[in-house]
Homo-oligomer: A and B are copies of this chain.
């Protein structure tokens, strides 16, 4: 079976570019070395290939079903794989040793986890959600909450969920209606939560739901939102977590892809169960009342970068599959050599197939590199010795997060589209993996904030915040890369010039949009802005890679140069018309009378 990801590329990104080994000089990572990083990467690749990839197709074809008693049935391979994952300690990769973690850099953990996202995103979703949940409680929860929930989650005994959306409130969390009323030292919750991944299953002893709900006195909209731990099982009279809380599975969502993950509609406090003989689902406040959304957004930024990694991972897996196929499949003859007596060539010899392969390579390697760059910023934010370096990393991360989420979701889905196309009719059948990758990847532009939401976040908030400090900082990083490229690599000079030009135009149009007095007009094309910004950022990421590649010899480096060349030649040029459109402050969308559609 083809690998789902390239270890050589990960080594290049982690060691040659991002120099993660230098992180071992930081106190937090002092116990680590290149050897321990390699070990976790090797272990992840091995488990991902042997235990996750092997049931990816089966889980897609046999999605979880709801039994009459409200429990969920699924194929046994999911639990088998997750038990191996948990036993290997992988849920706890980046957590403190004090709570049972490996205290690894985020960058290394993300790279390791990408193997699982490429091999089987549906099964990987369970521990990923659990780690995100545990991270949140370990940051804002009490010692008791950490002991009760974080430790068993990191051991893989409990799994976690994030309960934000409701049927009537997806992107608009201000409109959630789940209520929590104080009752003694806990709260009673009532309401319905939609799109809850991992909301019900029998994969773990307990499920720790993190639930957004409104408590009295917090004001309207998001201000009234608090965050609660609502475990499926509460402490029972025997000391164990045996008392069933009033969280009930109402139904499973049936999706185009990502079918292996239970995705649920959950009811809280509808009286199906009455824990301790009382009404309402019992929840425990995390942190302070009415700060729930801020806590959740701590997790949300990580989750958004995680979505980008997921998209990149599927794109990568599809690229490698279609590359193998293109090398093996004979069909047709070169232009001008149509003698049918001659043997057919492999389709990789056709220019258009090469275009589709190079496009995929440029998208997926660009996306993976962007994700790892952002992860490196997380490590910098968390452990930089110099406080201003940490602040800068956080600021840059804020600006880049909507790109790290949206760009891979758009372009690695397109990569999967091309992977199918390389396979021709075969790629459209379920006998080949690429059709599933395409279906699975279609989720990524939707969840954790749609494409449109990311555009509003970028243009309406991130580039404007602190008087444009994030934008300025990004500009200085890009300028540094341009100057470095001009000094170090003759291959990169043309790219440096082009990037400089596009970046200057992007800064210019950003200024124009931010000084537009009519906010609705300024934001009307924020998705176009997001896409122009994204291509520019990824061009910079490719320039960074080119600079590291320099004039080094070898097929791997030649491949990097070819993909960068492709990106600058075929992709970056798309940005010009987008910037022109933005500059024109076109009013087509806002002046539209919806009645005419």
Chain A residues packing against B (C-beta within 8 Å): 165, 168-172, 174-175, 194-195, 220-222, 253-257, 323, 326-327, 330-336, 338-341, 344, 346, 348-355, 357-358, 361, 417, 420-421, 424-425, 427-431, 435, 438-439, 442-443, 445-447, 450-452, 455-456, 460, 519-520, 523-528, 555-556, 558-559, 562, 565-566, 569-570, 573-574, 576-577, 580-581, 586, 588-590, 592-597
Residue in chain B with minimal CB distance to A568: B588
Chain B contacts for A460, CB-based, 8 A: 335
Q: Are A351's CB and B555's CB within 8 A?
A: no
Q: Are A421's CB and B451's CB within 8 A?
A: yes
Residue pairs across A and B with Cβ atoms less than 8 A apart, 27 shown, are A170-B425, A171-B331, A172-B332, A172-B344, A175-B331, A175-B344, A194-B425, A254-B430, A256-B430, A323-B597, A351-B589, A352-B527, A353-B452, A358-B588, A358-B589, A420-B446, A425-B447, A555-B595, A556-B596, A558-B593, A562-B588, A562-B592, A562-B597, A569-B586, A569-B588, A573-B581, A574-B574
Q: Are A594's CB and B527's CB within 8 A?
A: no
Residue in chain B with minimal CB distance to A435: B256
Select A428's contact among B340, B424, B446, beta carbons within 8 Å.
Answer: B446
Chain B contacts for A569, CB-based, 8 A: 581, 586, 588
Residue in chain B with minimal CB distance to A575: B577
Q: Are A555's CB and B596's CB within 8 A?
A: yes
A393 to B63 alpha-carbon distance, docked (Å): 52
A435 to B258 alpha-carbon distance, docked (Å): 13
A388 to chain B, nearest CB (A): 33
Chain B contacts for A351, CB-based, 8 A: 520, 523-526, 589-590
Select A520's contact among B335, B346, B428, B570, beta carbons within 8 Å.
Answer: B335
Residue in chain B with minimal CB distance to A555: B596
A349 to B524 alpha-carbon distance, docked (Å): 11
Chain B contacts for A221, CB-based, 8 A: 338-341
Select A171's contact among B165, B326, B424, B428, beta carbons within 8 Å.
Answer: B424
A596 to B563 alpha-carbon distance, docked (Å): 10
A255 to B426 alpha-carbon distance, docked (Å): 9
A215 to chain B, nearest CB (A): 15
Chain A interface main SS type: helix
Select A355's contact among B175, B589, B594, beta carbons within 8 Å.
Answer: B589
Q: Of A165, A171, A420, A577, which is in contact with the most chain B CB atoms at under 10 Å from its CB?
A: A577
Q: Are B573's CB and A170's CB within 8 A?
A: no
Q: Of A170, A334, A353, A445, which is in contact with the most chain B CB atoms at under 10 Å from its CB?
A: A170
A140 to chain B, nearest CB (A): 24
A408 to chain B, nearest CB (A): 16
A526 to B353 alpha-carbon distance, docked (Å): 11
A333 to chain B, nearest CB (A): 8
- This protein's copies in its complex: 2
Known A-B contacts A335-B519, A351-B520; the reply to A195 vs B425 at CB < 8 A is yes
A420 to B445 alpha-carbon distance, docked (Å): 10
Q: Of A169, A194, A335, A348, which is in contact with the most chain B CB atoms at under 10 Å from its CB?
A: A335
Q: Are A573's CB and B580's CB within 8 A?
A: yes
Residue in chain B with minimal CB distance to A259: B430
Known A-B contacts A354-B589, A421-B445; the reply to A331 vs B254 at CB < 8 A is no
Supplied contacts A323-B597, A354-B592, 13 more A-B pairs, CB within 8 Å? A220-B341, A221-B339, A222-B340, A254-B429, A256-B428, A256-B439, A335-B460, A348-B597, A350-B452, A351-B523, A439-B439, A528-B570, A569-B586
Chain B contacts for A172, CB-based, 8 A: 331-333, 344
Known A-B contacts A429-B256, A439-B256, A589-B355; the reply to A175 vs B520 at CB < 8 A is no
Chain B contacts for A581, CB-based, 8 A: 569-570, 573
Q: Are A438's CB and B597's CB within 8 A?
A: no
A169 to B344 alpha-carbon distance, docked (Å): 10
Q: Are B429's CB and A442's CB within 8 A?
A: no
Q: Are A446's CB and B429's CB within 8 A?
A: no
A338 to B223 alpha-carbon distance, docked (Å): 12
A60 to chain B, nearest CB (A): 11
A428 to B417 alpha-carbon distance, docked (Å): 17
Chain B contacts for A589, CB-based, 8 A: 351-352, 354-355, 358
Q: Are A446's CB and B425's CB within 8 A?
A: yes
Chain B contacts for A348, CB-based, 8 A: 594, 597
Q: Are A170's CB and B424's CB within 8 A?
A: yes
Known A-B contacts A351-B523, A352-B527; the reply to A255 vs B592 at CB < 8 A is no
Chain B contacts for A361, CB-based, 8 A: 597
A392 to chain B, nearest CB (A): 30
Residue in chain B with minimal CB distance to A460: B335
A358 to chain B, nearest CB (A): 7
Q: Are B590's CB and A170's CB within 8 A?
A: no
Residue in chain B with minimal CB distance to A447: B425
Q: Are B334's CB and A520's CB within 8 A?
A: yes
Chain B contacts for A580, CB-based, 8 A: 573
A129 to chain B, nearest CB (A): 16
A574 to chain B, nearest CB (A): 6
Known A-B contacts A421-B450, A588-B358, A590-B351; the reply to A428 vs B442 at CB < 8 A is yes
Q: Of A221, A450, A569, A592, which is in contact with the most chain B CB atoms at under 10 Å from its CB?
A: A592
A153 to chain B, nearest CB (A): 25
Q: Are B586's CB and A340's CB within 8 A?
A: no
A305 to chain B, nearest CB (A): 20
Chain B contacts for A254, CB-based, 8 A: 429-431
Chain B contacts for A354, CB-based, 8 A: 589-590, 592, 594
A554 to chain B, nearest CB (A): 9
